[in-house]
Amino acid sequence: MVHRLLLAALGRRELDDRDHYGNKRLDLAGPLLAFLFRGMFKNLLKEIRIYAQKFIDRGKDFNLELAIKTRIISDGLKYSLATGNWGDVKKAHQARAGVSQVLNRLTFASTLSHLRRLNSPIGRDGKLAKPRQLHNTLWGMVCPAETPEVHKTSQHTP
């Protein structure tokens, strides 16, 4: 990365376009669900460890079937998918908000539009218009009716 920066500073390489689709980082469903499952699984292992320690301290036989509480993972996944707060229920202040949404199925076109939306952290009131506009490398990947500029100028037709 430093090498590319130096080449661009010396004029031997063109500057990168930050709006190019190849330079975008997307948080896809698979890694997000894996991150969430990993956290819930750690909570489950912690609960099993506490349960086992209690039985060892009392000198009783340890039953693994009773130690595994499947509701920890299933309730955690349900909570995150229902509310959109991605993270542990107990650590709500650290959770990412607005990760999941209810899929809009009014029409086929609205469903496709909803599936192709990207959430950009750039506000609609920013001074730079270029990051809010649809870059030519995004055609076919992102719904052009879902760019912030379309909503701002009311050009969107349902």
For residue 153, the surrounding DSSP H or E stretch is helix 148-153
Distant-in-sequence, close-in-space partners of 91: CB < 8 Å, separation ≥ 6: none
One-letter amino acid at 103 equals L
Number of domains composing the chain? 2
| pLDDT tens sequence across 6-53 | 999 999 999 888 888 888 888 888 999 999 999 999 999 999 999 999
Angle at 42 between CA 41 and CA 44, to 5 degrees: 60
Residue 75 pLDDT > 50: yes
Domain boundary among 100, 132, 147: 100
**Same-domain check for residues 53 and 81:** yes
CA distance 18 to 133: 12
Looking at per-residue pLDDT, the higher value among 143 and 2 belongs to: 2
**Same-domain check for residues 93 and 148:** no
Residue 94, token pair as written in the block? 């650290």
Residue 9 in domain: no
CA distance 70 to 86: 19
| pLDDT tens sequence across 113-150 | 788 777 776 666 666 667 667 778 877 777 677 665 55
**Confidence (pLDDT) at 98:** 82
**Confidence (pLDDT) at 11:** 92
Residue 153 pLDDT > 60: no
**Same-domain check for residues 54 and 113:** no
Check: CB of residue 117 under 8 Å from CB of residue 146: yes
